Structure 1
Amino acid sequence: MSEVEETLERVKVQPGVEGYVICNRQGQVLRRLPSMSQAQADIYAQKMSGLSKKARGVVRDLNPKNELRYLRIRAKKHEVLVAYDQEFLVIVIQRWTPAQA
């Protein structure tokens, strides 16, 4: 099993993970969690591709020596983690519940 396959296996067995998408920089889905629909994977890929490009621009504007590597977005029910690479985006969607005080 390749290193990529091993990493994907580790990701999908983590508690709360509802899906993952690997896409190229143009937002084309290359791989997704099999239980995730293609339409849903396409939406995540398109939206996160555009958002990560904008976030990368902001980081570069603040300090040209810095580079965006990871992006984390938390909503009411989900958390989206995006790993930004030169050629690919890895998007992980997981359930999120606030800590009880």
Structure 2
Amino acid sequence: MSEVEETLERVKVQSGVEGYVIASHDGTVLRRFPSMSQELAEAYAESMKHLGKKSRNVVRDLDPKNELRYLRIRAKKHEVLVAFDPEFLVIIIQKWTPASA
């Protein structure tokens, strides 16, 4: 099993992970969580492609020597983690619950 396959297997079994998408920088879905629909995977890929591009530009505008590598977005029910690689985007969707006080 390749290193990529091993990593995907580790991600799948993490508690709270509801899906993942591996996409090219043009938004083409390369891999997705087995139970995730193709349409949902494409929606995440397209959205994160645009948001990632804008976010990277903001980081570069603030400091031209810096580069955005990871993006973490927390919503009411989910948290989306995006890793930017030179060849592709890795998007992980996980359930988010606030810590108990």
Q: What is the TM-score normalised by the length of structure 1? A: 0.98
| Matched residue type, 2:99 | A
| Matched residue type, 2:73 | I
| Matched residue type, 1:59 | V
Deviation by residue 1:29-85 (Cα, 9 ceiling, x = unmatched)? 000011000000000000001000000000000001111100000000000000011
| Alignment of structure 1 residues 1-101 onto 2, 5 Å | 1-101=1-101
Q: SS of the residue aligned with 1:73?
A: strand
Distance in 1 separating the partners of 2:68 and 2:88:
13
Matched pairs, number: 101
Q: Which runs of 4+ in 1 moved over 6 A?
A: none
Q: SS of the residue aligned with 1:56?
A: helix
| Matched residue type, 1:35 | S
Percent pairwise identity: 76
Q: SS of the residue aligned with 1:86?
A: coil
| Matched residue type, 2:57 | G
Distance in 1 separating the partners of 2:56 and 2:87:
14
Distance in 2 separating the partners of 1:69 and 1:7:
18
Distance in 2 separating the partners of 1:57 and 1:10:
32
- Structure 1's unaligned 5+ residue stretches are none
CA deviation after TM superposition for structure 1 residue 23, in Å: 0.2
